[in-house]
Amino acid sequence: MDYLDATDNEHHDGQLAVVILPEFVPAKRWHGILHNQTARLLKVALLYRRRRQGFQRVIIDVPYHLRR
């Protein structure tokens, strides 16, 4: 988040910032309660900041399948 803020303040060029978030896809659905909480919180924070500050962001979720 600090890096995005610093980049936005430095450039002021109106360009999109692309944020790639890995999303763990566990073998069993109920394991999802244990995983992905940080990614969800980051996504909510990025979306909230985008609306508040007016900077454009592209958030990409990349699924990473966990298998046994």
Question: What is the model's pLDDT at position 47?
Answer: 81
pTM listed for this prediction: 0.65
3-class DSSP state for residue 22?
strand
pLDDT in tens, 5-59: 787 778 777 677 888 988 888 878 777 777 767 888 888 888 887 666 667 778 8
3-class DSSP state for residue 16?
coil
